[in-house]
Chain A
Amino acid sequence: MTPLEQLEGFPTYLANNWDTVLELAIAHAIVVGVSIVIAGVVGVGLGCLTYRNQPARDAVLRVTGLFLTIPSLALYALLITIPGMGFGAKPVIVALTMYALLPIVRNTVTGLLGVDPAIVESALGMGLSRGQRLFRIELPLAWPVVLTGVRVSTLIIIGIAALGAILNGPGLGELIFDGLGRFGTPFALPIALSGFLGVVALGIVFDVFFNVVTRLTTSRGVR
């Protein structure tokens, strides 16, 4: 069977297996979603804690930057050697969280440092405390930039999450590896393709989602 003939089998495959594909896509989205929420909280937190202190800021950016240079397969391999980690969703979420940190921390820091100093000074002059300035003034103004970081992270880890199938992690990676494993059989290409297209579709869904979130959570005054 030529690849072209296999491709013709794709619609039939999808029609018969759409529920499996959808199930895996949802599992994929959940793994990505959980990781991005954790990375969001940790990353924004780290950004808020360190943006005013250059040595701390540089250290955090360097370490989270380092995470991103570790090849994902190597990181997965490394993680399963940690006692108690095991296989499945857990090590995948840990890895994805690590990869998602840098863009979030970096954009949080950039966003906070980019707030007009005159605005911060007038807030200070009015007697807003450190926390009130951060949560009521600086973070809301940095918010669009922070969200852009979260969105970039999400797109990065959607792809990396697919490789999580190696550790029996849930998600569309299962289809891709399954397809690769059946190389030469009639369904190899349709299966792998449905995994691949699922990942792309998921990316688009997340992108649209963040567009909506950005619109809803950004004040009209700074749009």
Chain B
Amino acid sequence: MTEAMIRLEQLTKRFPGQSEPAVEELSMEIPEGEIVVLVGPSGCGKTTTMKLINRIIEPSSGRIFLEGEDVTAADPDQLRRRIGYVIQQIGLFPHRTIHDNIATVPKLLGWSDDKIRARVDELLETVGLDPSRYRDRYPKELSGGQRQRVGVARALSADPPVMLMDEPFGAIDPITRDRLQNEFLRVQEDIRKTIVFVTHDIDEAIKMGDRIAILGERSVIAQYDRPEVILSQPADGFVEDFIGSGASLKRLNLARVRDYELGDWPTGRVDEERPTLLAKLRASDKGAILILDAEGRPQRWLRPRDLQRPDASLSDIGLVVEAKVEPQATLADALNELVRSRVGSAVVVDKSGVYAGTVDMDVIMTAAEAMRKAARADARASMDAESSAGQVR
């Protein structure tokens, strides 16, 4: 294994006047370019652990390495400028414009005004905010979700190799949270930062994490592994309880629609004759045919009895296609859409809305089986690797 981006060695934090340490002898390696999620029950020490990394809380003992360098005694302000920091309350500076908020660290680092301006605009674009509209606003003139995006942009401003995020999407409504999570994962595909992400929500951990560390009391690691392994082979009862019921369902959060073979439903065009459509439908084993418009975008589901109504036009009958997902959606999203849909199938469309296939129950079942197999193989491989290397990760 190459040198980890962050290495914690026997980190302990005792707060004055408390008998138990908040973090006890924590050792852990965080590999470069991955999202490592710290998850665990409230009060187990996640936030304390995270703040030990950028030394907002100074450790009582132990060492911290960043990019192989011992930073336990380095100048904390210099250290923090190399580490992006996002907290749940965001903490935007209310007296400064969005531009100035994002420009904070670049200014400290002495960048030129032109460079800063270009960087701020670039970051606003990255997080999906139109620079010309938002750059000169003040934080109070943004919605909660927009503020959270600015918080992320601000943490990314000086392109730090490491980001610490403490429940960054915790105080946001579920729909916006879902969107922000997806956006953030998309951004991360490009920027490949090393990210330590704290949450107490196991579902968020599964969705966001390349690796998950499940922490117990005093930040003791109960299991630290890839999400699929944690879901299929929980290390002990504590992890099992923490994952909760429905581990198999949760595993669907790990699978993307684009990675699986899609279902094949009969399709037809709006301008085709009804007998042709009916013949296609009869030739399949499905209960409905999907009608596409001239550009190939799904319009309606038609069942045999819809097609037998001679009076109405094709664009008025049948069921409007509501359950749609994009290829990067998770199978869990697709399953959710599928259950909502009245024909038992979620339609997959590409970016421009063109039909790409369907996800139905067969697709989900096949995928679940494939994941089970992969997880078993994965676990076996990592056990072999460990026994041959003679060490425990």
| Cross-chain contact B95 with A140 (CB below 8 angstroms) | yes
Please report the total number of B residues contacting A with Cβ < 8 Å: 29
| Chain A binding surface SS class | helix
**Residues 307-350 of chain B, each 1 if its beta carbon lies under 8 Å from chain A, else 0:** 00000000000000000000000000000000000000000000
Cβ-closest chain B residue relative to A137: B93
A221 interface residue, CB < 8 Å from B? yes
Which A residues are in CB contact (< 8 Å) with B376? none
| Cross-chain contact B91 with A122 (CB below 8 angstroms) | yes
Q: Contacting A128 at CB < 8 Å: which of B77, B79, B90, B139?
A: B77
A129 interface residue, CB < 8 Å from B? yes
A80 interface residue, CB < 8 Å from B? no
Which A residues are in CB contact (< 8 Å) with B56? 121, 124-125
| Cross-chain contact B77 with A129 (CB below 8 angstroms) | yes
**Residues 248-281 of chain B, each 1 if its beta carbon lies under 8 Å from chain A, else 0:** 0000000000000000000000000000000000
**Residues 136-171 of chain A, each 1 if its beta carbon lies under 8 Å from chain B, else 0:** 010011000000000000000000000000000000
A48 to chain B, nearest CB (A): 17
Q: Which of B32-40, B81-89, B175-183, B232-240 lies at the binding interface?
A: B81-89
Please report the total number of A residues contacting B with Cβ < 8 Å: 22
| Cross-chain contact A124 with B80 (CB below 8 angstroms) | yes
**Residues 167-181 of chain A, each 1 if its beta carbon lies under 8 Å from chain B, else 0:** 000000000000000
| Cross-chain contact B138 with A118 (CB below 8 angstroms) | no
B71 to chain A, nearest CB (A): 13
Q: How far, in angstroms, from A63 to B336 measured CA to CA in the complex?
A: 67
Q: Contacting B85 at CB < 8 Å: which of A120, A126, A137?
A: A126
Which B residues are in CB contact (< 8 Å) with A126? 80-81, 85, 104-105, 108, 154
Of residues 89 through 122 on chain B, the ones whose CB sits less than 8 Å from some CB of chain A are 89-97, 104-105, 108
B78 interface residue, CB < 8 Å from A? yes
Q: How far, in angstroms, from A88 to B83 measured CA to CA in the complex?
A: 59
B140 to chain A, nearest CB (A): 6
B194 interface residue, CB < 8 Å from A? no
Of residues 91 through 118 on chain A, the ones whose CB sits less than 8 Å from some CB of chain B are 116, 118
B358 interface residue, CB < 8 Å from A? no
A20 interface residue, CB < 8 Å from B? no
Q: Contacting B91 at CB < 8 Å: which of A123, A218, A221, A222?
A: A123
B64 to chain A, nearest CB (A): 15
A211 interface residue, CB < 8 Å from B? no
A152 to chain B, nearest CB (A): 23
Which A residues are in CB contact (< 8 Å) with B138? 219-221
| Cross-chain contact A132 with B94 (CB below 8 angstroms) | no
B123 to chain A, nearest CB (A): 14
A119 interface residue, CB < 8 Å from B? yes
A-B contact pairs, 11 of them (CB 8 A): A118-B89, A118-B90, A120-B91, A122-B93, A124-B56, A125-B56, A125-B164, A126-B154, A219-B94, A219-B96, A221-B96
- Identify the 8 closest CB pairs spanning chains A and B, nearest first: A122-B91, A221-B138, A125-B85, A118-B89, A127-B80, A219-B95, A127-B81, A118-B91
